[in-house]
């Protein structure tokens, strides 16, 4: 169903309130959010959103509407932002999903990050690629992992774990390995798939 601009504005206002973890607004509150004077003008738009299965009425004690949770399509994974294949940067949580073919993921929980930098270029992982990560807290030596360093920065590197030392190896001859104590590195996932757009 294609929404009208006003219906989309109502839906966007509800999503903004939900993202702020606010209580669902009443019709009067929704009017205030949209800059309208009267709830009467909202009724037809709200009825259309209810018919589309996007919102539902609340109980009589709280006269308003709320979003209906939408299940993401089965072929999507959470997209959690960017990760450095170079200097570590934060992987930022985002409320987005991205389509991933089934053969690029595993049956375990997975998520997607976009690569920034060229430190893994010799492993075929280029700036702008999307990598599919299986959520794990451990990895075999030689695996390419998402590593959280000192609880602050994330990076994508090949890992070697030895007694008293963890080494994160770039796949770029111009760069040096990174050495840490085991307490400084937390594995957050292992690379299981990769996607690239040629345009």
Q: Output the CA torsion 118→124→129→135 (10° steps).
A: -100
List Cβ neighbours of 66 (8 Å cut-off, separation of 6 or more): 14, 18, 24, 55, 56, 58
8: left (phi over 0), alpha (psi -120 to 50) or beta: alpha
In the structure encoding, which two tokens stand for residue 88, read together? 């570590």
Report the distance separating Cα 52 and Cα 164, nearest Å. Answer: 58
In the structure encoding, which two tokens stand for residue 174, read together? 């111009």
In the structure encoding, which two tokens stand for residue 84, read together? 């450095």
CA nearest neighbour of 73 among 96, 48, 106, 104: 96
Q: Which residues are catalytic?
A: 119, 157
In the structure encoding, which two tokens stand for residue 146, read together? 């998402």
């Amino acid at each position: 169903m294609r929404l009208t601009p006003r219906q989309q504005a109502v839906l966007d206002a509800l999503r903004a309130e939900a993202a702020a973890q606010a209580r669902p607004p009443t019709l009067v509150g929704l009017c205030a959010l949209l800059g309208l004077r009267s709830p009467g003008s909202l009724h037809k738009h709200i009825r259309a959103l209810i018919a589309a299965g996007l919102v539902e009425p609340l109980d009589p004690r709280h006269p308003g509407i709320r979003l209906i949770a939408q299940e993401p399509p089965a072929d999507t994974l959470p997209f959690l932002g960017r990760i450095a294949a170079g200097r570590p940067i934060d992987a930022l949580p985002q409320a987005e999903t991205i389509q991933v073919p089934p053969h690029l993921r595993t049956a375990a929980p997975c998520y997607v990050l976009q690569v920034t930098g060229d430190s893994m270029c010799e492993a075929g992982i280029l700036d702008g690629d999307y990598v599919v990560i299986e959520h794990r807290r451990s990895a075999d030596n030689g695996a390419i992992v998402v590593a959280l360093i000192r609880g602050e920065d994330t990076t994508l590197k090949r890992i070697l774990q030895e007694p008293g030392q963890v080494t994160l190896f770039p796949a770029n001859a111009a760069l040096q390995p990174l050495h840490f104590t085991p307490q400084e590195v937390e594995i957050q996932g292992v690379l299981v798939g990769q996607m690239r757009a040629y345009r």
